[in-house]
């Protein structure tokens, strides 16, 4: 029942870093909070909003702070590696946002540092914490699906959101940055079974017209060592006014003893108003109709945050403070997911089937 006191540094004070900082500030084990951003003013504003004790434009200053014993890295996708390595060198447990890195070489560097220093690191695949996927995993563990034969899934979102991500990290494509959630979920459901082969095709003109050499749609077939087939696709170029506040998803899992049909499209929850619904992710974009709880990270209510990023953050902090079980992705799982998403992009580009390393 003992609680270890935590001092948390949040590196990257953007959309998700701001959520993580405010959630950390509200956690009973957290006695100290520091935030940083390459944009010092942004870190300062977050410190004021979250009640953080210390803000800096220098990541190393918050990571090395003597009162910090846990580090959350919420920088843009191409800026994860340096702060993660620094925290691991100092032996401070890390939560890094997905994807762990954008190259396998960087992911390997992170894993090597975590293993040589014995420092725990988890990767923020927050969609695992949506209740439907947690309970699906529980049913799989209970054996109600038998042996998984196949999984199929599709994620979609608006071009407005896709372009917002590409503006931040031009190589964080809808496959590497978004389909990654569902490659992670597939790997989690098939835990212990290795992926062997990836084949994919992509097509599109919307992102190219906007100046990004990226497909609007990419669909992949991933084959696992036991023969299981996984078909995952992403379409991120819906019109900007489509009523998505985040991803729409459909996942189906078929096994020798049962199936899971998970409708995560949010089409059963509609908000219609003359007053304007702001999009949490895209400044200035407003709807009159929206799928109510489709915001991917979650929603605010009474100053508290509810949803996958909230549950994930609390579970990770509880894990450090009270040794609570933590179903977050490990660095090795996140590396496997990155390997698959990079292979999907390569296969879509070359038309070839990619054999994954054994
Ligand atoms: N779990 C989820 O639901 C979820 C949702 C969206 C994004 N994400 C992930 O969170 C991460 C951040 O995304 P976001 O939406 O918050 O982006 P964002 O652009 O809102 O924030 C990124 C922040 O990082 C800062 N930054 C960039 N380089 C930095 C550096 N070297 N040092 C310090 N600060 C730096 C930027 O100034 C910005 O404030 C990404 O990895 C993204 O994939 C997760």
Q: Work out which ligand 1 atom sits closest to the CA atom of 75.
A: 24
74 and 222 belong to one structural domain: no
In the chain, the number of structural domains is 2
Q: What is the 3-state secondary structure (H, E, C) of 243-268?
A: CCCCCEEEEEEEECCCEEEEEECCCC
Residue 250 lies in a domain: yes
CATH code for the domain of 99:
3.40.50.720
Residue 100 inside a domain? The answer is yes
Contact yes or no for 328/123 (Cβ under 8 A): yes
Q: Are residues 96 and 176 in the same domain?
A: no
Tell me whether residue 318 is in a domain: no
pLDDT recorded at residue 281: 83
What is the share, in percent, of the chain residues with pLDDT greater than 70?
A: 100
Q: Is residue 313 part of a domain?
A: no
- Whole-angstrom distance, CA of residue 155 vs CA of residue 58: 36
- The CA 16 to ligand 1 mean position distance, Å, reads 6
How far is residue 5 CA from its own chain's centroid?
26
Is the C-beta atom of 17 inside 6 A of ligand 1? yes
Question: If you measure from the C-alpha of residue 15 to the centroid of ligand 1, how many angstroms do you get, rounded to a whole number?
Answer: 7
- Ligand 1 center to residue 143 CA distance, Å? 38
Closest alpha carbon to 18 in 55, 47, 54: 47
User: Does residue 320 lie within any of the structural domains?
Assistant: no
Q: Are residues 16 and 120 in the same domain?
A: yes
Span 249-307, pLDDT tens digits: 999 999 999 999 999 999 999 999 999 999 888 888 899 999 999 999 999 999 999 99
Q: Give the domain extent around 34.
A: 6-124
pTM equals 0.97
Domain boundary among 76, 91, 124: 124
Distance between CA 181 and CA 234 in Å, rounded?
11
State the average pLDDT for the chain: 96
Q: Is residue 10 in a domain? A: yes
249 and 212 fall within a common domain: yes
Shared domain for 108 and 154, answered yes or no, is: no
Q: Would you say residue 234 lies in a domain?
A: yes
The CATH number for 183's domain is 3.30.360.10
Note the pLDDT of residue 208. Answer: 96
What mean pLDDT comes out for the span 64-79?
97
Residue spans of beta strands (DSSP E) within the chain? 6-11, 30-36, 54-56, 70-73, 94-97, 121-124, 148-158, 195-203, 217-224, 229-238, 248-255, 259-264, 270-278, 286-291, 299-301, 304-306, 329-330, 354-355
Instruction: Using the 3D structure, point to which of 71, 94, 124 is the last residue of a domain.
Output: 124
| Same domain as 284, residue 147 | yes
Final residue of a domain: which of 100, 124, 148? 124
Beta bridge partners of residue 272, listed in sequence order: 289
User: Same structural domain for residues 171 and 299?
Assistant: yes
298 CA closest ligand 1 atom index:
3
- Kindly report, residue by residue over 73-99, the tens digit of the pLDDT: 999 999 999 999 999 999 999 999 999
The answer to whether residues 207 and 95 belong to one domain is: no
Q: Tell whether ligand 1 has an atom less than 6 A from the beta carbon of residue 126.
A: yes
Q: Is the domain of 148 the same as that of 37?
A: no
Question: For residues 57 and 72, what is the distance between their CA atoms, to the nearest angstrom?
Answer: 16
Task: Please check whether residues 113 and 208 belong to one and the same domain.
Answer: no
pLDDT at 168 over 90: no
The answer to whether residue 201 is domain-embedded is yes
Residues 67 and 117 in one domain: yes
Q: State yes or no: pLDDT of 166 exceeds 80.
A: yes
Q: Are residues 15 and 83 in the same domain?
A: yes
Cβ of 79 less than 6 Å from ligand 1:
yes
């Amino acid at each position: 029942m003992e609680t270890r006191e935590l001092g948390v540094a949040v590196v990257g004070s953007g959309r998700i870093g701001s959520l993580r900082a405010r959630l950390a500030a509200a956690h009973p084990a957290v006695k100290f909070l520091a935030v940083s951003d390459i944009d010092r003013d942004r870190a300062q504003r977050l410190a004021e909003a979250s009640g953080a004790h210390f803000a800096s434009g220098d990541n190393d200053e918050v990571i090395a702070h003597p009162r910090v014993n846990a580090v959350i890295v919420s920088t843009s996708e191409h800026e994860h590696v340096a702060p993660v390595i620094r925290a691991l060198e100092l032996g401070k447990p890390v939560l890094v946002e997905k994807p762990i890195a954008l190259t396998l070489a960087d992911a390997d560097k992170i894993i090597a540092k975590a293993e040589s220093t014995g420092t725990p690191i988890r990767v923020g695949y927050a969609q695992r914490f949506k209740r439907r996927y947690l309970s699906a995993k529980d049913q799989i563990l209970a054996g109600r699906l038998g042996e998984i034969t196949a999984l199929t899934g599709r994620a979609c979102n608006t071009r407005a959101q896709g372009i917002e991500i590409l503006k931040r990290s031009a190589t964080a494509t809808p496959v590497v940055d978004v389909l990654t959630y569902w490659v992670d979920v597939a790997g989690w459901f098939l835990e212990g079974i290795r992926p062997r082969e990836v084949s994919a095709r992509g097509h599109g003109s919307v992102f190219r017209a906007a100046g990004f050499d990226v497909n609007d749609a990419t669909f992949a077939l991933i084959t696992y060592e036991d023969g299981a087939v996984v078909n995952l696709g992403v379409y991120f170029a819906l019109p900007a006014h489509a009523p998505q506040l985040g991803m729409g998803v459909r996942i189906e899992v078929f096994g020798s003893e049962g199936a899971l049909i998970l409708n995560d499209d949010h089409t059963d929850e509609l908000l219609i108003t003359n007053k304007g619904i702001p999009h949490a992710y895209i400044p200035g974009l407003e709807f009159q109709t929206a799928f109510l709880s489709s915001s991917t990270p979650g929603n605010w209510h009474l100053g508290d945050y509810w949803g996958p990023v909230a549950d994930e953050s609390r579970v990770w902090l509880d894990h450090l403070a009270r040794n609570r079980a933590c179903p977050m992705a490990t660095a090795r799982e996140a590396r496997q997911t990155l390997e698959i998403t990079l292979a999907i992009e390569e296969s879509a580009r070359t038309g070839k089937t990619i054999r994954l390393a054994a």
